[in-house]
Amino acid sequence: MTEQLRLMAVHAHPDDESSKGAATMAKYVSEGVDVLVATCTGGERGSILNPKLQGDPYIEKNIHEVRAKEMAEARDILGVKQEWLGFVDSGLPEGDPLPPLPEGCFALQDVDEAAGRLVKLIREFRPHVVTTYDENGGYPHPDHIMTHKISMVAFEAAGDASRYPEAGEPWQPLKLYYNQGFNRPRTQALHEALLERGMESPYGEWLERWHTMGRERTLTTYVPCGDFFEIRDKALIAHATQIDPDGGWFRVPLDLQREIWPTEEYELAKSVVGTSLPEDDLFAGIRNN
C-alpha cells in the first residue's frame, strides 16, 4: 500500500489499552503506523487497585479526572492517538445475587445506538485494522462485553452507506481481531520457565482455575514485539490508580519474557482480505494489496 497504515484499538476503560496489546501498538507506531485508541468509558466506577493510593480523598472524589490524566500519560508513552467515546463506566457488579447495573451506564445502552459513536470514529480515522475483545469480553466485565458488541456492529456497518448516514462517508476496515494476550499457552510457558529457574511464579492459581474461564481461544496471530515490553509496562504503570508497580504483574523479568514468549497474540475474527494463518502481522494481506 502507498498510504499510511492505520490501526484502531477499541477498549472499555482507560488502562485496558496498556494491559492488552500495548507492545503491539508501540511496535507499529515505531514503524510509522497511525494508531488510535478508542476508549469507550471514562472508568468512573473503577476501584482504586493500587494499595498505595487507596483512601486518598482527592483521588476518590476526582477519579474521572485522575484517570483521564493517567490515560493522557499512557497515550504519550505509547505514542498513540486516543479518543473518548463518552460512555459512563458500568462498574463490576459483585455479590450474590448480583446487583442491577447503574442506570445510564455503558452496558445498558442500546447496542445499535451506541455503535453509532464508534462508526463515526471509524469513518473519521479510516482504520485498516480494528482490535477489540471477544464475546466474553476477555473476562466478563459488562463494559468489556458491550465493547465487543458495539465493535462487531460498527465493523459491519462502517462501510455500509445505508447505515448511520449521519456518521460520515463510509469506510470498511479490512480486518478485525480479538485481543488474546492472556492465553493459556503463554501463561503455561512463563510459569514453567520461572519454576525451572527456581523463581516464584504468579501464575499458579490462574492455571489451576483456567478450566472455569471458558473455552480455549484460537490464536491466529503472533506479533513479535518483545523490544517494546518495557514501553508497555511504563504505560501500564502510568495508570497509577489501577496497578501496583510492586505487584504480581511485574514479577516476570522482561529478559525472560523476551526469551520465552516475545509476542502478543490475537484471534482473527473477520477479514475481507486474503491471508494465511498463522500470521505474525496484523496487516498481513493488506500491506501488499
**What is the residue type of 10?**
V
Q: Cβ of 215: how many Cβ atoms within 10 Å?
A: 6
| Cα(89)–Cα(104) distance, integer angstroms | 9
* pLDDT of res. 213: 64
Handedness of CA 52, 45, 25, 180 (dihedral sign): positive
At 231 the pLDDT is 98
Q: Is 133 inside a domain boundary?
A: yes
CB atoms within 10 A of CB 4: 9
Cell of 226: 518483545
Asked if residue 289 belongs to a domain, the reply is no
Task: Confirm whether 188 is domain-assigned.
Answer: no
Regions of the chain short of the pLDDT cut 50: none
Please answer whether residues 133 and 178 qualify as being in contact, where contact means their C-beta atoms are separated by less than 8 angstroms.
Answer: yes
Helix axes 22-30 and 229-238, enclosed angle (nearest 10): 120
- What is the extent of the structural domain holding 23? 6-182+218-271
The SS3 call for residue 128 is: coil
Q: Angle CA(27)–CA(32)–CA(37) in degrees, nearest 5?
A: 65
- Give CA separation, 18 vs 13, 14, 167, 194, 273, in Å: 10, 8, 28, 24, 28
Which residues make up each annotated binding site for Zn(2+)?
13, 16, 144
Residue 149, SS3?
helix
Helix (H) or strand (E) holding 256: helix 254-260
- Give me the numbers of helices (H) and strands (E) for the chain, helices first please: 10, 7
Establish if 144 belongs to a structural domain: yes
Residue 284 lies in a domain: no
Identify whether 69 is part of a domain.
yes
CA dist., res. 122 & res. 117, Å (int): 9
pTM value is 0.95
CA atoms within 13 A on the CB side of 90: 21
pLDDT at 215: 65
Q: State the pairing for strand pair 129-132/34-41.
A: unpaired
pLDDT at position 79 is: 98
What is the total count of domains within the chain? Answer: 1
Number of residues assigned to the chain = 289
Task: Decide if 266 is inside a domain.
Answer: yes
**286 in any annotated domain:** no
Q: Which residue has the cell 458488541?
A: 149
Contact 42, 14 (CB under 8 A): yes
Q: Which residues are annotated as a binding site?
A: 13, 16, 144
Q: For the domain that residue 253 is a member of, what is the CATH number?
A: 3.40.50.10320
